[in-house]
Structure 1
Amino acid sequence: MRARNGNVFTGFAPATSKDAIKKMSRKVKSWRLHTLTGHTMDGIARAVNPVIRGWMQYYGAFYKTELYPLLYRISAYLLRWIRKKYRRLKTFTKAHKAWKRITLQYPTLFAHWRWIHGFW
């Protein structure tokens, strides 16, 4: 196969399109996780894990690093939820310590925690 400039093109790396990433980002934003302060973390995990797992299996089959920014964004939304739900964890430092404790205690609670660690 020839590229536009005439050189022979021998490689191909299937990756998630920018439109697909935008669509997934809009979906995550539409969940409005930070407003679900009446729910438990386990309840949120049960609600979002099937969707996240599906994205990881479909889009991450070949080029999973393309999904990392989205997965970190989901974790950032979860950290925001922690800061809203538990007022004593309002400061970033306290929320970060709680985040470390939760991810160590329940490393498989959210599907995307298998691929990323942290929230950015």
Structure 2
Amino acid sequence: MRASIERRLAQCRLALNLEKTRVVYCKATGRTGEWGCQSFDFLGYTFRPRSSRNYRGELFVSFSPAMSRKSARSLRQIVRRRWRLTRRTHLSLNALARRLNPIISGWINYYGRFRRSELHAVLNHINFALVRWVMRKFKRFARRLTRAYAWLRAVARRNPTLFVHWQYQGWMTRAV
């Protein structure tokens, strides 16, 4: 298979990168073959077989993309290491939202294109970073994680458009 692909690319004056190139079997419901490699990462997405629903609501297997684990890990590290929200207690919540919303909306637009549910772990991590910010900003919430979460939920219920990801996550605005 690889040799035929190499010949075809050579006709177009292109070459394969032998270290990065692999042949992947795109497993789906109608395809019953077996192959060693059934997934690959490309541009921050992992393409692999996943369960889907058809127009009648029946489950089937399709080969589709979603945010890769490596991308999710790197976004969580950006939230923790680069943003350093606990060091930004001099900012108000509105100022923090103005700074973070363009970044968060870019992540949602790019990684949320396919299987937005894979992005929820990163958005939950952002919410947890905001809770830690609340605990550092307000003395009454120091060492009071549950109360800080409750305060942030109350803010989200009053102003669900303050942070862009609150519009996509129902848990912040739902009553507990």
The TM tier, using the shorter chain, reads 0.7 to 0.9
- State the Cα deviation string for residues 45-80 of structure 1 (Å, max 9, x = none): 111111110110111011100000000000000011
User: Residues 20 and 93 of structure 1: is their aligned pair in 2 closer, same or farther, counting only changes over 3 Å?
Assistant: closer
Give yes or no for contact 2:76–2:122 (8 Å, CA) kept in 1: yes
1:24 corresponds in structure 2 to 75
Moved over 3 A (4+): 1-4
Normalising by structure 1, report the TM-score.
0.86
1:70 corresponds in structure 2 to 122
- In the alignment, structure 2 segments of 5+ residues that lack a partner are 1-24, 28-32, 36-48, 50-60
Aligned length: 116
2:53 corresponds in structure 1 to none
1:33 corresponds in structure 2 to 85
Normalising by structure 2, report the TM-score.
0.60
User: Residues 19 and 2 of structure 1: is their aligned pair in 2 closer, same or farther, counting only changes over 3 Å?
Assistant: closer
User: Residues 85 and 23 of structure 1: is their aligned pair in 2 closer, same or farther, counting only changes over 3 Å?
Assistant: same
Structure with higher strand content: 2
Greater RCO between the two (CA within 8 Å, min separation 6)?
A: 1
User: Residues 2 and 33 of structure 1: is their aligned pair in 2 closer, same or farther, counting only changes over 3 Å?
Assistant: closer
Q: In structure 2, what is the Cα distance between the partners aligned to 1:26 and 1:111?
A: 20
Which stretch shows the higher mean deviation, 11-20 or 53-62? 11-20
User: Residues 40 and 59 of structure 1: is their aligned pair in 2 closer, same or farther, counting only changes over 3 Å?
Assistant: same
* 1:53 maps to which of 81, 86, 105: 105
Larger Rg, first or second structure (1 or 2): 2
State the superposition RMSD in angstroms.
Answer: 1.9
Give yes or no for contact 2:131–2:148 (8 Å, CA) kept in 1: yes
- In the alignment, structure 1 segments of 5+ residues that lack a partner are none
Deviation of 1:93 (Å)? 3.5
Asked if 1:11 is matched to 2:62, the reply is yes
Quick one: which amino acid aligns to residue 162 of structure 2? L
